[in-house]
Structure 1
Amino acid sequence: MTDVALETRDLTIRFGGHVAVNAVSCVFRPGELTCIVGPNGAGKTTFFNLISGQLPPTSGTILLDGQDVTRLPVSHKTRRGIGRAFQLTSLFPNLSVLENVRLAVQARRQRGIDLFSMWSSHGAVQREAEECLARVALADKRHQPVAALPHGDQRKLEVGILLALQPRVFMFDEPTAGMSVDEVPVILNLIQEIRRDRSKTVLLVEHKMDVVRSLADRIIVLHNGTLMADGDPAEVIASPIVQQAYLGVAEPEAEVVDG
């Protein structure tokens, strides 16, 4: 196994005159969970979109296990091992919860022309899909149509689909957004479980600093599309530039001395 799972080199995207991601170079290693933080509009989700293939970069390179995957479409990057959860994950609203996960298992097993054949020949696929649903606490809703699920359960289903795809690089974009307090631990415990697998690489965009502190092995900070900090969580969070730009802490005013 290579020491570097994923790498971006000078990754850049421009929309007209606006540079949304500006020459970002980062290395992501197996067994490491990296939290990507920054204020609204910092370029975090755009950076994710570039890596996962939703957007083509203006310039720069994306390497997966040392291979250039910069211009590959989403489907090809998924097959190579990059898995993305939330925001742009495709759910089939008229199919059941179980059918959604089952299709993901079948896609990974490359049974594309056999998706709707006799179910009796796919017992192993069903068992794997059921296991994924149990891990995201949706087993009791397996037969419900996705369209009937509340937002929090749809988020959990997206994680279930990601688990079914078994990627080597997991990308979570604000995984707890829109969830109730009771639902959040299910997802955080799953991310912790994935993190313990030293062959997996986890990237997490998150605004909640308590979540960042509890999960991160490393934090990178984007601001106006530029990589502003990268390192140990405690050091990054404590740095004055991050306190000011991300946490909104003002710089101390100079003391005025009378006389």
Structure 2
Amino acid sequence: MSHPLLETADLTVRFGGHVAVDHISCRFVPGELTAIVGPNGAGKTTYFNLISGQIPASEGRVRLNGRDITRMSVAQRTHLGIGRAFQLTNLFPNLSVLENIRLVIQSKAGRGFNLLSMADRHADLTAPAQEILARVRMTDQADQVVSELSHGDQRKLEVALLIALDPLVYMFDEPTAGMSVDEAPVVLDLIAALKTRKDRAILLVEHKMDVIRTLADRIIVLHNGALAADGDPATVMASDVVQEAYMGRDLEEALAHV
């Protein structure tokens, strides 16, 4: 196996007496898209929150490129290469779509978030921002104020901002939720394109099996906060432990009701 970009070792969080994530150990390697599935309450989003730093771990470790980031803040983890889509949504809701993307590129270039200097001193960043807009098919919305965007366009902007950030680990939590049939393929095509970069890892919380079949190289299944299965999609969906976790129901049928 390749050297992991991201690793969780016995990662655990308790809320009172409830164990929401229970000693999960996983390694995520470059060039691989891992789909994280499970029924409601399985711990998927909580696991994401532990990795990206929204909540502190009760036990265990999170490592990025071998570095322990368990006690680091969200901002520190983002700086080191953890990128989660919703962290960047509506970064500056009263600025335009183009300006939001340009600000992320500006920060990535080490020039900070100085709004006053953005237009005059960072004009060289406009072209790459426009290129990203074209990739997410939002060129026509370049001058639109972010707060006025439709839900579907906000989700596309999440992906655009994440591309601009260019993290080592991309984290998507149901990226097409609430999007129309016409809008969703744009986001899925972008995620598929990110897979071609063999120096990045992608984590995807998803319950749409058609999306998982199309994109996933690997599936991990969480159940009651614990890791129930981990492997290639065909093997995982056929495994006894997964069928038992879903109380005998077909995995696809069970996830369709999530």
The reply to whether TM is greater than 0.5 is yes
CA contact (8 A) 1:39 1:245 kept: no
Shift of 1:119: 2.2
Distance 1:55 1:133, change over 3 A: same
Quick one: which amino acid aligns to residue 139 of structure 2?
Answer: A
Matches within 5 A, 1:39-50: 39-50=39-50
More moved, 164-173 vs 110-119: 110-119
**1:10 counterpart residue number:** 10
- 1:10 match: secondary structure: strand
Between Structure 1 and Structure 2, how many residues are aligned?
Answer: 248
1:207 maps to what in 2? 207
Query: Which blocks of at least 5 consecutive residues in structure 1 are unaligned?
Result: 251-259
1:97-147 deviation line (CA, Å, top 9, x unaligned): 111111111111121264421624323211111111111111110111111
Matched position secondary structure for 1:222: strand
| 1:246/1:214 CA distance change after superposition, 3 Å | farther
Matched, 1:138 2:146: no
Query: Normalising by structure 2, what TM-score?
Result: 0.92
Secondary structure (helix, strand or coil) at the match of 1:117 reads helix
Counterpart contact for 2:106–2:122, Cα < 8 Å? no
The alpha-carbon deviation at position 246 of structure 1 amounts to 4.3
| 2:88 maps to 1:89 | yes
C-alpha contact (below 8 Å) 1:5/1:201 kept by paired residues: yes
Moved more, 38-47 or 121-130: 121-130
Q: TM-score, normalised by structure 1?
A: 0.92
Equivalent runs, 1:94-133 vs 2, <5 Å: 94-112=94-112, 114-117=114-117, 119-133=119-133
CA RMSD of aligned residues (A): 1.6
Q: Distance in 2 between matches of 1:142 and 1:20?
A: 41
Distance 1:241 1:136 in 2: 39
**Counterparts of 1:243 and 1:211 in 2: how far apart (Å)?**
20
**For residue 59 of structure 1, what is the amino acid of its counterpart?**
E
Match of 1:154 in 2: 154
Larger Rg: 1
| Residues 173-182 or 96-105, more deviating | 96-105
Which shows bigger deviation, 130-139 or 89-98?
A: 89-98
C-alpha distance in 2 between matches for 1:112 and 1:240: 51
Stretches (4+) displaced over 4 A = none
Where in structure 2 are there 5+ consecutive unaligned residues?
251-258
**SS of 1:176 mapped into structure 2:** coil
Deviations along 1:139-189, one digit per CA (max 9) or x if unpaired, are 110111111111010000011000110101100000110100011111111
Structure 1 match to 2:235 = 235
With over 3 angstroms needed to count, the CA separation of the structure-2 counterparts of 1:43 and 1:153, relative to structure 1, is same
- Letter paired with 1:163: I
Query: Contact 2:106 / 2:113 at 8 angstroms: preserved in 1?
Result: no
Percent of counterpart pairs with the same letter?
A: 61
Q: 1:118 to 1:242 in 2, by over 3 A?
A: closer
For the residue of structure 1 that corresponds to 2:79, the secondary structure is helix
